[in-house]
Amino acid sequence: MDATSVNQALKGFITEKLLHGDGADLTDHTPLLEWEIVDSLAMVSLLTFVQKTFGVTIPDAEVSPRNFQSIEALQNLIVNVAQDRPEAADGDTNKGA
């Protein structure tokens, strides 16, 4: 799993689906929860997107605001979960965040 491609895929999804194409100001550190970019409905669609795109199922215990607060946090979470379960990942598992 490549951290850069995870990052790009997340930015693409958030820009297109949650910001209706207006992602000009979106950075790795944009507060997704405080600025209400990710609400409870968006959270469910994000989880589905992660499952479909990376083949990674985020364990319930990791579904925490800490891991959803920014793109950086989400990217680290996805890479770490994929590393712990290499059989679920779709590629190189040696690269960390």
Partner 1 sequence: METPTKVRSHYDVIVIGGGPAGSASAMLLAERGLSVLLLEKDQFPRYHVGESLTGTAGDFIARAGLTEKMAELDFPAKPGVKVVGREGAEFFVPVLRPTWQVRRADFDHLLLQLAISKGVEHVQGAAKTVLTEAGRVVGITVATANREDGDAQAVRAAFVVDASGQSVFMSRQELAGPRRVAAFNRQIALYSQFSGVASDVGETHNSTVIFYRDTYHWSWLIPVSSEIVSIGIVLPTASYKLRGGTSKAAMAWGLEHMHPELTQRTASATQVEAMHVSRNYSYRVDPFVGPGWLCVGDSHCFTDPIFSFGASFALTEAQAAADAIVAAIANPAAEPDLLAGYATYCNRGQGRAADLIRYFWKFPAFFAYMTKGQHGGDLIRLLAGDCFTPEPLAATIEMKKSLEDSPVLHRIPEGRGRDIAARIYERFDFFQGVDAAFLDLSEGVMIYFILAEDDIDLYDSLRDFEEQLVSDFGRDTLAVLSFTPDIIEAMPPLDNAYTIVDRRRK
Rg (CA), the chain: 13
Number of H helices, E strands in the chain: 4, 0
When the beta carbons of 24 and 94 are compared against partner 1, the nearer one is: 24
Nearer to partner 1, 21 or 35 (CB): 35
| 8-47 footprint of partner 1 as x/- string (CB under 8 A) | ---------------------xxx-xxxx--xxx-xx---
Of residues 59 and 91, the one with the C-beta less far from partner 1 = 59
Kindly state the tokens that stand for 42.
């968006």
Q: Which residues bind partner 1 (CB under 8 A)?
A: 29-31, 33-36, 39-41, 43-44, 59-61, 63-66, 68-70, 73
